[in-house]
Structure 1
Amino acid sequence: MARRLFWLAFLGSAAVLAVVPEFFSEQAEPMAMPRPPRLAATPETAAQVPAPVASALSEVAVPAADLFAVQSWYVAPPPPPAMASVAPPPPPKPTAPPLPFKFIGKMDDRQQMQVFLMRGEQVLVVREGDLIDKTYKVQRIDPERMTLVYLPLDIAQTLVVGSSL
C-alpha cells in the first residue's frame, strides 16, 4: 500500500510540474522572420530598381565570406640565411710518417754511441750524423733517446733507446 501511495504522489507531482509553467508564462513577442539572402547588385538589376532603393541595396548587399575556403596549417619555413662565402681552412701541415725502425740495442765504445735498429728484417747500425736511405739523418744520440730528422719535410722525430748505461 505504501508503495502505491508513493508512486501516486510521485506521478502527481510530476504532472503538476509539467502543467504549472504553462499557466504562468507570459505572451512572448512574435519573432522576426528571417529574410531571404539578397544578391549583390549588378548593373542590370540596378537599372530596374529605383535610386533610393538601389543605394540602400548597395549598402546591404555585401558579398559574404567564403565559408569553405581551403585552409591549411602549413607555414612555409623561413628562407635560409645568406651564408657569407668563407674560405676553406688551410690544409693541415704535412707530417712525417711514423718511424719505420725498431730499437734493438746500443753500444757505447767511449768514442761514439752506436745504435742497432731494425727495419723489417734489415739490421742497421747507426751513429750520430749518419744518413739512412737518404730519407732520415741521425741528428743526435742521447743515452735515453735518439733524434732522427725526416729529410723531405725537415721534421725531427725521436726514438726511445732505453735508459742510460
Structure 2
Amino acid sequence: MNIQRAVMWAGFLGLSGALAWAPGHWFGQEETVQTIAGQARSHAAPTVVDVGAGLPRDEAIKHSRDLFPSQQWTAPQTLATVTEQPVVATPVVVAPTAPELPFQFVGRLGDRDDLQVFLQNGEKLYVVRQGDVIEDTYRLDRVSATELSLVYLPLHQPQTLSVGSAP
C-alpha cells in the first residue's frame, strides 16, 4: 500500500504541476493574471497581487474595479444651458478737441493800450492785437504778461500760449 500511496501522491503532484505550468505555456499571461487576481479576491485575508505586471497600461486599467461605486437613487438634475452671445461694446464717443497751437511767440511791441504781439506759424509771421482773428481759426482774447489766451473758433475751446516772463 505504501507504493500505491506514493504513486498516487506523485501522480497528484505531477498533474498539479502540469496544470499550474500549462496556462502560462499555452494560453498566455492574461488568463494566469486573471486567475491569480480572482483567487486573491476570494480569500478573506488581504493579499497584494500586481494585476498590471506584464500588461500594457490600458489593459491594466481596464481590469481594475471600483470597490465603492457611487449610487444615486434619484435621477440626475438637468442643468440649464448657457448660450454665449457676443458682447456688443458701445463705441465711446470722444469729444473733439482742438489741435495744438501751431504758433510760436516771437515778441511784443507797444504799450498797454496798443500792444502788438508777433506770432509765427512756419514761414508766416502774424502781427495781432487783442480781439483779432487769425485765418478764421483762432481769436486772440486776452494778452497778459506771461501768456496769451486764444480761442479755437470751430470748437470754441480756449487755449493758452506761454510767452515767458514779464518784460
Structure-1-length-normalised TM-score: 0.49
Structure-2-length-normalised TM-score: 0.49
Higher relative contact order (CA 8 A, sep 6+): 1
